[in-house]
């Protein structure tokens, strides 16, 4: 979402790419700059033309990731960042920032051989022991679904994989990054705002 991209854009001193580097009609918006010698690009999926809301969820996220990696084929790392709901059983508390150990989808149930694992789509994240230690970040599995809430079937998948945080994009960002052979990690903050999104259930007692 734009509200998740803007703080990073400001903190890193990036500028919106004008003219666009990713041509339309995909409405994604990109920002670029140099931060301490590292080229950084922030990609926001943009807004839905019909309903005026941010393009959340897996479909726009994978498309934006794919188009961004076409635009910047030399990228060394893809980071899926933003807010998430957290699970107490995996040590999550409001204000925590989690770095991913892996990601999966909790709402793609295809109980046929091979398709089942493809649906879950578990992809390991880039190992980050030094990052975790230096910044005091917690680490865990990030789970993606296209709904703000979850069903019992979603929860069964998340429990089965000891999911730490739940959000709506990382799984498909990782899929697109994997097509290009790019390593990925997720940085997900468990924030009070997510509480509101999840109907007061941002941190779960499991």
Residues near a second copy, by CB under 8 A: 24-27, 48, 50-59, 62-63, 66, 105, 107-112, 114-115, 117-119, 146-149, 151-153, 172, 175-176, 179-181, 197
Which residue, 96 or 154, has its beta carbon nearer to a second copy?
A: 154
Which residue, 4 or 107, has its beta carbon nearer to a second copy?
A: 107
| Shortest reach from residue 15's CB to a second copy, in Å | 25
| Shortest reach from residue 117's CB to a second copy, in Å | 5
Which residue, 67 or 139, has its beta carbon nearer to a second copy?
A: 67
Count of C-beta atoms within a 10 Å radius of residue 14: 19
| Shortest reach from residue 104's CB to a second copy, in Å | 13
Instruction: Give residues with Cβ within 8 angstroms of 164, minimum separation 6.
Output: 86, 87, 90, 91, 92, 98, 138, 139, 140, 141, 142
| Shortest reach from residue 56's CB to a second copy, in Å | 7
φ, ψ (nearest 5 deg) of residue 196: -65, -45
On whether the CB atoms of residues 76 and 36 are closer than 8 A, the answer is: no
Which residue, 34 or 196, has its beta carbon nearer to a second copy?
A: 196
Which residue, 19 or 24, has its beta carbon nearer to a second copy?
A: 24
Cis peptide before 19 (omega within 30 of 0): yes
Beta strands in the chain (DSSP E): 15-16, 29-35, 38-44, 78-87, 97-105, 123-124, 138-144, 163-167, 184-190, 203-204
Q: Tell me, letter by letter, the H, E, C secondary structure of 58-97.
A: HHHHHHHHHHHHHHCCCCCCEEEEEEEEEEHHHCCCCCCE
3-state secondary structure of 10: helix
Which residue, 65 or 90, has its beta carbon nearer to a second copy?
A: 65
| Shortest reach from residue 87's CB to a second copy, in Å | 19
Lateral strand order in the sheet of 38-44: 15-16, 29-35, 38-44
| Shortest reach from residue 110's CB to a second copy, in Å | 5
């Amino acid at each position: 979402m734009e509200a998740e991209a803007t703080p990073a854009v400001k903190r890193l001193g990036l500028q919106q790419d004008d003219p666009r580097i990713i041509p339309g009609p995909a409405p994604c918006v990109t920002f670029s700059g140099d931060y301490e010698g590292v080229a950084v690009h922030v990609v926001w999926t943009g807004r839905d033309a019909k309903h005026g809301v941010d393009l959340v969820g897996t479909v726009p996220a994978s498309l934006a990731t794919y188009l961004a990696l076409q635009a910047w084929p030399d990228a060394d790392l893809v980071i899926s960042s933003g807010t998430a709901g957290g699970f107490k059983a995996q040590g999550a508390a409001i204000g925590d920032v989690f770095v991913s150990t892996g990601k999966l989808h909790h709402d793609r149930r295809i109980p046929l051989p091979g398709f089942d694992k493809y649906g879950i789509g578990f992809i390991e994240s880039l190992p980050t022991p030094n990052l975790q230690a230096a910044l005091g970040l917690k680490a865990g599995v990030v789970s993606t679904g296209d709904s703000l809430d979850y069903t019992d079937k979603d929860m069964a998948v998340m429990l089965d994989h000891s999911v730490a945080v739940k959000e709506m994009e990382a799984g498909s960002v990782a899929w697109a990054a994997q097509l290009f052979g790019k390593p990925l990690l997720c940085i997900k903050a468990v924030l009070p705002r997510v509480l509101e999104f999840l109907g007061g259930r941002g941190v779960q007692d499991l």
